[in-house]
Amino acid sequence: MKTAKIKYEGQIFDVQVNDNLSIVLPNGQILKEEQVEWLPPANGTMFALGLNYADHARELAFEPPKEPLIFIKANNTYTGHNKQTWRPDHVEYMHYECELVAIIGKTAKNVKRENALEYVQGYTLCNDYAIRDYLENYYRPNLRVKNRQATTPVGPYIIDRTQVLEPNNLVLKTWVNGELRQEGTTADMIFNVPFLIEYISSFMTLQPGDMIATGTPEGLSDVVPGDEVVVEIEGIGKLRNYIVSETEFFNTVK
């Protein structure tokens, strides 16, 4: 089952999603993908991983971490499928990051790794854009790199965990204007989903709707206003968004 949060005719609905991305409203009405405004399917705290793929760490000339490098994203950074995100004016390098996201389904505290997936509601995708001009060091992003309004597309939906049998063996891809720019596999994660749930819940209480964004593989490149960026994860789906300039975004955002 796939569930999403959408806005239609001024109202917000929790809906079911078909394989062709058509929407089933609670009253049974079926809408096409382009007829609705897609909202982030979860809005809890996002625990995001830095350097969680060894190839990505090497790409940046860093040693792979010995334990998770985690940072937290504010929920106003999230935006939905098919929506705009923005590149700050006067920066040198902004790149995409295709990431598998695990959505927590029930309160998790001191969870053991072997039971961790029982606490997962399902999975979604995110594109965790980074403004690399402001990345200071190995110990990962300051706020200017990763916590800007509407710069983390999430969605389009949550797919139930029972439909994703091998979350730690999925192909990830990123397409920019139809060109394949990034390809990797979740099998190359240094710290997988069960490990991360055990690790985080050992010192924090995870709540329903919280998200764990598991990092990105190598294959980063710059993106600029006018680009269409699609991130794809095998068995999960595709998440699309469009890059605009800072000036255009803040002159049109409501």
- Provide the pLDDT for residue 238: 98
Q: Which amino acid is at 50?
A: G
Distance of CA 123 to the CA centre of its chain: 10
- Provide the pLDDT for residue 6: 97
Q: What does the chain come to in residues?
A: 254
Q: Which amino acid is at 153?
A: P
pLDDT tens digits, 43-54: 999 999 988 988
Spatial CA neighbour of 51 closest among 61, 43, 41, 39: 61
Three-class SS state of 252 = helix
Give the number of other CB atoms < 10 A from CB of residue 221. Answer: 13
- Provide the pLDDT for residue 12: 97
- Provide the pLDDT for residue 165: 87
In this prediction, the residues of the chain whose per-residue pLDDT falls under 50 are: none
CB 69 within 8 A of CB 53: no
> In the numeric block, which tokens belong to residue 46?
């996002």
> In the numeric block, which tokens belong to residue 61?
């000339």
pLDDT tens digits, 164-189: 988 999 999 999 999 999 999 999 99
The half-sphere exposure of 7 on its side-chain side, counting CA atoms within 13 A, is: 10
Prediction pTM value: 0.94
Spatial CA neighbour of 215 closest among 64, 34, 86: 64
Spatial CA neighbour of 164 closest among 210, 208, 120, 209: 120
> In the numeric block, which tokens belong to residue 101?
């996201």
